[in-house]
Amino acid sequence: MNNATYAAASMYALSINQTAALIGTIGHDITVVVQGNMGTGKSSIINILADRFTNHKAVYLDCTTMVDSADMFMVKYSEDGKTFSTVPLEELGLHLPDQPIILMLDEIGKCNRSVILACNRIMLERKHSGYELHPESIVFATTNLGAEGLGDLLPAHTRNRITVVTMRNPDNMEFIEWGINSDLDPALLGFCKEKPELFHSFEQYENPDENPYIPHPRSTRVAFTTPRSLHKASDILKMREQLSEINDDGIKVYTQLSAALIGTIGDRAALDLAAFITLADKLPTREQIENDPATAPVPDSPAAVCMVVYKVLATIERKWITSWLTYMERLPKEAQGLFVNGVRRTGYSRRDLVSQNTLYQDWCMANNYMFSADK
């Protein structure tokens, strides 16, 4: 699939927030099956919905752990032994008729056919074996793209009971926004800023060698970058000092760290990320910025400057906002705008904290050709 074909195919692909909004609107009546690339956060939709529907109980069912339909419904004999009924698995939430739930059938495309058949009535009618979900309950499912070659298939009669939508990959700036709020390592976020191709879909490339970072059904690479693996790489990077050694020449080396990153995001991405690790270790410390913003060192690399901004966005506290804003004036205007853009994003967790600062408001007024002050 070339870029033009991919652009046409992805015209109606949704972001994760758009997908969650759609499910929240129609999911009480219609089961939405979300398909998308592996490792792009499809399973996280249940957390977004749980934050929105606080009266609902979030119920997660990993369909890949269900061997067959017997794992979902157990036979229960009557007292006289002449008849039997079935009782549902607790994880289905069918035993909660007075409690609205959010039921996510994760990885439904990979499960045994008998499990899919057992889910059909739940997805269509919200009931099974004499049990019925609360009418406000929301049901949705996730699966990978069939073209990924991971075995995700749905029978035609199941497909006709549901609504399938495609969730697109996040782009690098969407991932960075999420990463700032999720305390991801600044070096990793700087790497993502420089490498938007880390978040591309395999559908954009006929030849897998055109993008050596991502999974591709025609590639033999076994480790690759996805938002999920990048998240794990961030956790590893935070422990880089424990994963370092001093060699015989007295030089610090990161053999264990490199091995862990290669096994997590692939060799090409891990080797490229190594340069950012070196930059990150040379960043000014929070203490330097807080105690002496007028003389704290300013990195001369644009990538390192980005890392400083991302690190501050993730860690800034009220007591040193003024010091940071004083230091920020010494950075290139693009970096200043990067910080303010980060603050102004609706989901930024420290937005009110920063926007109430007088220096911040003064900066916005002085640069109102770029932004307007937050109120």
Burial class (CB in 10 A: 0-12, 13-18, 19+), 212: middle
Query: Over 80: is that where the pLDDT of 374 sits?
Result: no
Find the domain containing 200 and state its range: 172-366
* Together in a domain, 148 and 93: yes
* Together in a domain, 72 and 201: no
Quick one: average pLDDT of 185-198? 91
% of the chain exceeding 90 in pLDDT: 53
* Together in a domain, 162 and 283: no
* Together in a domain, 148 and 256: no
Residue 87 is inside which H or E element, if any? strand 84-88
CA dihedral of residues 333, 334, 335, 340 (deg, nearest 10): 90
Query: Over 60: is that where the pLDDT of 334 sits?
Result: yes
Domain boundary among 166, 196, 215: 166
Quick one: average pLDDT of 284-290? 91
The predicted structure's pLDDT at residue 192: 93
- In this structure, what CATH number is given to the domain that contains residue 43? 3.40.50.300
* Together in a domain, 142 and 243: no
* Together in a domain, 223 and 361: yes
Query: Over 70: is that where the pLDDT of 335 sits?
Result: yes
Instruction: Establish if 375 belongs to a structural domain.
Output: no
What digits encode the pLDDT tens for the residues 54-93? 999 999 988 888 877 777 777 788 888 888 777 777 778 7
Please tell me the pTM assigned to this model: 0.80
Instruction: Establish if 373 belongs to a structural domain.
Output: no
Query: Over 60: is that where the pLDDT of 300 sits?
Result: yes
Instruction: Establish if 374 belongs to a structural domain.
Output: no
Domain count, the chain: 2
What digits encode the pLDDT tens for the residues 201-237? 998 898 999 999 999 999 999 999 999 999 999 999 9
Give Dmax (Cα) for the chain.
86
Query: For 29-171, where are the alpha helices, taking DSSP H only?
Result: 45-52, 113-125, 156-159
Q: Contact 185/199 with Cβ under 8 angstroms?
A: no
Domain boundary among 166, 188, 203: 166
Instruction: Establish if 131 belongs to a structural domain.
Output: yes
Instruction: Establish if 176 belongs to a structural domain.
Output: yes
* Together in a domain, 17 and 139: yes
* Together in a domain, 338 and 245: yes
Quick one: average pLDDT of 148-168? 81
Confidence of residue 375 (pLDDT cuts 50, 70, 90): very low
Rounded to whole angstroms, the Cα distance separating 163 from 143 reads 12
The predicted structure's pLDDT at residue 151: 53
Instruction: Establish if 372 belongs to a structural domain.
Output: no
* Together in a domain, 203 and 343: yes
Rounded to whole angstroms, the Cα distance separating 203 from 330 reads 42
* Together in a domain, 17 and 54: yes
* Together in a domain, 178 and 305: yes
* Together in a domain, 118 and 208: no
Domain boundary among 166, 191, 212: 166
Instruction: Establish if 197 belongs to a structural domain.
Output: yes
The predicted structure's pLDDT at residue 280: 72
Instruction: Establish if 371 belongs to a structural domain.
Output: no
Query: Over 50: is that where the pLDDT of 373 sits?
Result: no
Nearest to 151 by CA among 57, 71, 38: 38
Residue 328's identity, in one-letter code, is M
